[in-house]
Structure 1
Amino acid sequence: MVLLGPSVSSVRLLLTLCEGYAEQHGLRYNATKSELVVFKARKYNSEAVPEITLCGVPLKVVDRVKYLGHMLTSNLSDDPDMETERRAMAVRGNMIARRFARCSNEVKLTLFKAYCQTFYTCSLWVRFTQRAYNSIRVQYNNILRMLLRLPRHNSASRMFTESRTDDFFAIRRKRVGSLLNRMRGSSNCLLRELAERLDSPLIRYWVEVAIGRAK
């Protein structure tokens, strides 16, 4: 469970409600396994955040936490999440290369699409460094080259065209487009409102990615 609040007092109020509910229903929160992330605003000193407790136990303040497969960081950077995905993709790619080295390219492409094109939550990547972005893109390209036994200098665009496989840019466009469509068709009024706010920097970025103007 995740609680979000714009201030310390709001988070404390939410925790108080949770504590009351748990007491009424004979439940108990494990405060030692609960963590607190302070999303930092510009020129904000996170060390000034007052202590927040759950069932009388101070919550541990951390810089990052993984929720539903996505890495949330206090500075809102997506670099750690992208690096986690890059490493996982490298492991899967090497596994395919070892176990299916003697298979046809058709089989390898099927496995590549199944295991190396997930990019879980990549539609949420909006704040990252060019280094992190290039790192995961190059890793993706190199895995396909390795599976097809192509030289490293082989053109990536030609490789994806001839193998009829989506490149990294195409995958991101599809994921972002799918997310926007699901948000606009959602029964949740907050998600629909967010998706229609074209003045939002987040939505503007998503639209640019979907139409191929942003990377």
Structure 2
Amino acid sequence: MDLISPKVHGLQRLIDTCRQYGEEFDIIYNETKTQCMSLLPRLLKHTAEPQIFLGNHRLEFVHEFPYLGHIITDDLKDTADIEQRRRKLCATGNVIAKRCNLQRWKSSLEVGNWQRRKIKEKAPHPQQLNISPATITLGR
């Protein structure tokens, strides 16, 4: 569940309402997994985080969290999400290369660019494998 409010006291009221609803219908909110994120302009980033409580537990403020397969950051940039997707693409490419006995690629996380990884055996030409592009599928 996601709660959005432009003001701190509005968010606290929403959380309190959800907690009361949970008590009424035997729903337990996990206090340790519940997190908050504030989306402030750059000029106000250094202000103190407000205190928001779920019951007697003070909620933690985070700078990024995964939401529906994407990484949301408090600066609203896509850098972390793009980096995660680049790593997944590299891993998938290595799986395909390994299955087809082709040359592998790796991602250099320090530099952030693609580098060719040398393998002792020479990779066969794709025509030697008798694989058409339609037979290579990703996922299941």
Please state which band the TM-score falls in when normalised by the shorter chain: 0.7 to 0.9
Shift in alpha-carbon separation, 1:31–1:70, aligned structure 2, 3 A: same
Give the TM-score normalised by structure 1. Answer: 0.49
1:21 aligns with 2:48: no
Shift in alpha-carbon separation, 1:43–1:105, aligned structure 2, 3 A: same
Structure 2, gaps ≥5 residues long:
102-128
Written as runs of structure 1 = structure 2, the 5 A alignment for 1:151-190 is: none
1:86 aligns with 2:86: yes
Name the larger-Rg structure: 2
More helix by share: 1
Kept after mapping to 1: 8 A contact 2:49/2:61: no
**Greater mean alpha carbon deviation, residues 67-76 or residues 41-50:** 41-50
CA RMSD of aligned residues (A): 1.7
Q: Number of paired residues?
A: 112
Kept after mapping to 1: 8 A contact 2:52/2:58: yes
Shift in alpha-carbon separation, 1:46–1:56, aligned structure 2, 3 A: farther
1:2 aligns with 2:29: no
**Rounded Cα–Cα distance in structure 1 between residues aligned with 2:20 and 2:92:** 45
**Rounded Cα–Cα distance in structure 2 between residues aligned with 1:88 and 1:46:** 33
- Other-structure match for 2:53: 53
Structure 1 residue 16, shift from structure 2 partner: 0.9
Written as runs of structure 1 = structure 2, the 5 A alignment for 1:1-215 is: 1-101=1-101, 102=129, 104-107=131-134, 110-111=136-137, 114=138
Q: Which runs of 4+ in 1 moved over 6 A?
A: none
* SS in structure 2 at match of 1:32: coil
Letter of the aligned partner of 1:6 in structure 2?
P
Deviations 1:107-164 (A, max 9, x none): 46x42xx45xxxxxxxxxxxxxxxxxxxxxxxxxxxxxxxxxxxxxxxxxxxxxxxxx
Kept after mapping to 1: 8 A contact 2:31/2:54: yes
Give the TM-score normalised by structure 2. Answer: 0.73
Structure 1, gaps ≥5 residues long:
116-215
More strand by share: 2
Q: Percent identity?
A: 31
**Rounded Cα–Cα distance in structure 1 between residues aligned with 2:40 and 2:15:** 21
